[in-house]
Amino acid sequence: MIQNKLFRQCLNAIPESQKAAFELSFDIAERLSQVLSAKGLTQKDLAHILGKRESEISRWMTGRHNFTTQTIARIETALGCKLINVAR
């Protein structure tokens, strides 16, 4: 019970904007995983396509990577599909 209380206190101490950023990063990683699966590609394939190390792609897939718009654009271009859609 004490651990749950401590966990809730820690979670409540995180600013909402930071929680939103984490959620967005996890959503992008999940979408990237879905796209790779649908295209029959592996993380190793994506690393080769983008000229990155597999370890970097692996970090992306954890959802803890802070994706830049430039990185998202490179991935979308390389894979020929959208990872995120922005309402206009």
Axis crossing angle, helix 43-50 with helix 54-61, rounded to the nearest 10: 120
- The answer on pLDDT for 2 being more than 70 is no
| Segment 20-62, tens digit of pLDDT | 888 888 999 999 999 999 999 999 999 999 999 999 999 999 9
Question: DSSP letters of 35-63?
Answer: HHHHTT--HHHHHHHHT--HHHHHHHHTT
> In CATH, which of 1.10.3720.10, 3.30.2020.30, 1.10.10.10, 1.10.260.40 is domain 18-79?
1.10.260.40
Q: What is the pTM of this model?
A: 0.81
Domain residue ranges of the chain, discontinuous segments joined by +: 18-79
